[in-house]
Amino acid sequence: MPAISMNPTTSMNIDEQISTQSYARGPARPLLELTIGDLLQRTADRYPDRPALVSRHQDRRLTWAELSAEADRVARGLWSLGIRRGDPVGLWSTNCAEWIVLHMGCARAGAALVNVNPAYRSHELQFTLTRSRMKALFLWHKDRHADYEDILGRARHGLNLALEHTIYFDSPEWPALLDSDGRLPDHVAVDDVANIQYTSGTTGLPKGVMLTHHNVVNNGQFLAQGFHYTEQDKIVVPVPLFHCYGCVIGTMSAVNSGAAIILPNWTFDARATLKAIHEEHATSVYGVPAMYVAEFGLDDFANYDTRSLRTGMMSGAPCPVELMKRVLEEMHIRELVIAYGQTETSPVVTMSDAGDSLEVRVNTVGRAMPQTDIKIASLRAEPNSNLDSQETLPRGQQGEVCVRGYALMKGYDGDPEGTALVIQPDGWLRTGDLGVMREDGCIHITGRSRDVIIRGGENIYPREVEEFLYTHPKVGEVQVFGIPNARLGEIVVAWIRLRPGLKPDIDATEQEIREFCQGQIAYYKIPEHVRFATEFPATLSGKIQKYKMREFEIEARGLQAVAKTATA
């Protein structure tokens, strides 16, 4: 409970004052004391013959009993490799049955699954391999997007890594591992780290978010309750599994309820997603706003029957109100919900309920999840200050969204200083996002206090892109920021000052800058527009004003209407 400062001149009692403050706690529902492996076994015992996993592009189907058995095979195989409780195991792949099987197998083995973004190239992979200290890495040799074996070879060149085993799914090593004679661990604890997800930090270096079994099992439980899932539901999951949207919302809500997970394709494909809904008679679908836009954009959209859909989620980026209304009407998702959170909170901390009114679901990101505290705090405190000394604002006022409860990460891997900057001694996590708490306790997200770009659901931290662009021999100074985009929400723009003596379009071009990024950083981080500038707008003290750059680009590119698009 936040500290309450009573004014002696008022007759308002404590309960009345709390109700006027931007503080809310979700329902006090029971927390599960189960590991992911325990939960999987419980679901397999309850619904052994119900479908658990459908990987349509691989023509593979598993029941819950079969998925549980495969997880045991993976766990024994990991033991045979020398993987023990707490050891990090990397998974670098697009969506496939093997992803979920390995996810469940690592949980059974007590290993910490390290999600590796399949869009990573040598520069980013090298950092992840080094920082995570992963002992094994699972991947495919290549796909139509990348040659992973080649990228791995370049990333690990000359490094002394902890990596002992590289297992390719499309080689004899994978079936051999599944047939190994290892054993299951004696004990896995609910507060053990189950998952390490790399999310970029404002310092420019990715941070490994450590999520425990307790975190993700219970977030999945409350998500399943919010969707009103049962074992009869079928969930189409086109979002990437390496992301918390896929591996927690997409997977753990199903493991908690017995609902089936349906993977339409290796990566997002609008037509494959609609075909999966149509042919599997799906009852739920997930996606970021850009995915729904792409689905509506198909010329044969009307040919797909989506009337089986009951619920679903739009999340991962600001959700335009008009798009949400269209999803409700044209895709028949009458119980569409919106959620808000971040990787550090496992991820969901607010969510609308499938039974909420249309007004709540199109204008807010819902209310505090069970066993979760939410407050809107003033922005006056220093980054490392105690939030209990920071003012909790009255309802209706904008401030920083702060979170406390079971869902908070265990910390950033190997970075106690970074952890202390976001999780305060009193247990509050500062999200860096701005929001307003309404009188009904629902949250409206109004912006971001941190300099983050959200492109199609992917978080991009400008400092990370800037530090990479500084390695170009012609770049003297660079500023990276986001501008609005109707399809993706935001896209990346870079303003560059060339080194002295160099002239734009003569000594350096926009195409040259973009080509320099290819194969070195993930495609979604590559600036879609580059503007060469002789100076950057700044305050008298020299602080760069990125908002002025953004305003200039919006005006120059005629994006005023897109910038005003209403979101929840």
Residue 439 maps to which CATH number? Answer: 2.30.38.10
DSSP label of 302: G
Q: Of 171, 189, 207, at which residue does a domain stop?
A: 189
Residue indicated by tokens 């931007």: 22
- What is the spatial distance between Cα 307 and Cα 465, in angstroms, rounded to a whole number? 42
Phi, psi dihedrals of residue 421, rounded to the nearest 5°: -75, -25
Virtual CA dihedral for 17, 445, 466, 479, nearest 10 degrees?
A: -90
pLDDT at position 565: 82
CB 93 within 8 A of CB 70: no
Q: Is residue 546 part of a domain?
A: yes
Q: Of 157, 189, 221, at which residue does a domain stop?
A: 189
Q: Which of 479, 227, 201, 230 is nearest to 338 (CA)?
A: 227
**In terms of domains, do 45 and 183 share one?**
yes
Q: Is residue 183 part of a domain?
A: yes
Enter the pTM of the model.
0.86
Q: Of 429, 448, 467, at which residue does a domain stop?
A: 448
pLDDT at position 387: 46
The strand pairing partners of 357, in sequence order, are none
Q: Enter the tokens of residue 99.
A: 């992803």
The domain that holds 150 is classified in CATH as 3.40.50.980
Phi-psi region of 351 (alpha: psi -120 to 50; beta: other; left: phi over 0): beta
The domain that holds 469 is classified in CATH as 3.30.300.30
Q: Enter the tokens of residue 404.
A: 């406390």
**In terms of domains, do 167 and 120 share one?**
yes
pLDDT at position 9: 30
Q: Is residue 219 part of a domain?
A: no
Q: Which of 138, 136, 137, 129 is nearest to 97 (CA)?
A: 138
**In terms of domains, do 395 and 490 share one?**
no
Total domain count, the chain: 3
Residue 416, judged by CB atoms within 10 A of its CB (0-12, 13-18, 19+), counts as exposed
Percent above pLDDT 70 for the chain: 92
Q: Is residue 348 part of a domain?
A: no
**In terms of domains, do 385 and 511 share one?**
no
**In terms of domains, do 40 and 183 share one?**
yes
Q: How far is residue 272 from each of residues 94, 101, 124, 251, 294, measured CA to CA in Å?
A: 15, 22, 29, 19, 11
Q: Which of 275, 289, 360, 299 is nearest to 326 (CA)?
A: 289
Q: Is residue 167 part of a domain?
A: yes
Q: Is residue 158 part of a domain?
A: yes
Q: Is residue 176 part of a domain?
A: yes
Residue indicated by tokens 């992973």: 148
CB 452 within 8 A of CB 546: no
pLDDT at position 355: 79
Residue ranges in the chain modelled with pLDDT below 70: 1-19, 200-204, 380-390, 450, 539-543
Q: Provide the 10 A C-beta neighbour count for residue 269.
A: 17
**In terms of domains, do 481 and 499 share one?**
yes
**In terms of domains, do 395 and 464 share one?**
no
- What is the spatial distance between Cα 214 and Cα 211, in angstroms, rounded to a whole number? 8
pLDDT at position 17: 44
**In terms of domains, do 184 and 43 share one?**
yes
**In terms of domains, do 488 and 392 share one?**
no
Q: How far is residue 101 from each of residues 52, 240, 512, measured CA to CA in Å?
A: 11, 15, 42
**In terms of domains, do 418 and 469 share one?**
no
CB 472 within 8 A of CB 520: no
pLDDT at position 361: 86
Considering just the CA atoms, what is the radius of gyration of the chain in Å? 24
Phi-psi region of 332 (alpha: psi -120 to 50; beta: other; left: phi over 0): left
**Helix residue ranges per DSSP H, 305-412:** 321-330, 358-363
**In terms of domains, do 404 and 465 share one?**
no
**In terms of domains, do 83 and 101 share one?**
yes
Q: Which of 330, 50, 118, 348 is nearest to 211 (CA)?
A: 348
Q: Domain range holding 434?
A: 17-27+371-448
Q: Enter the tokens of residue 406.
A: 């079971």
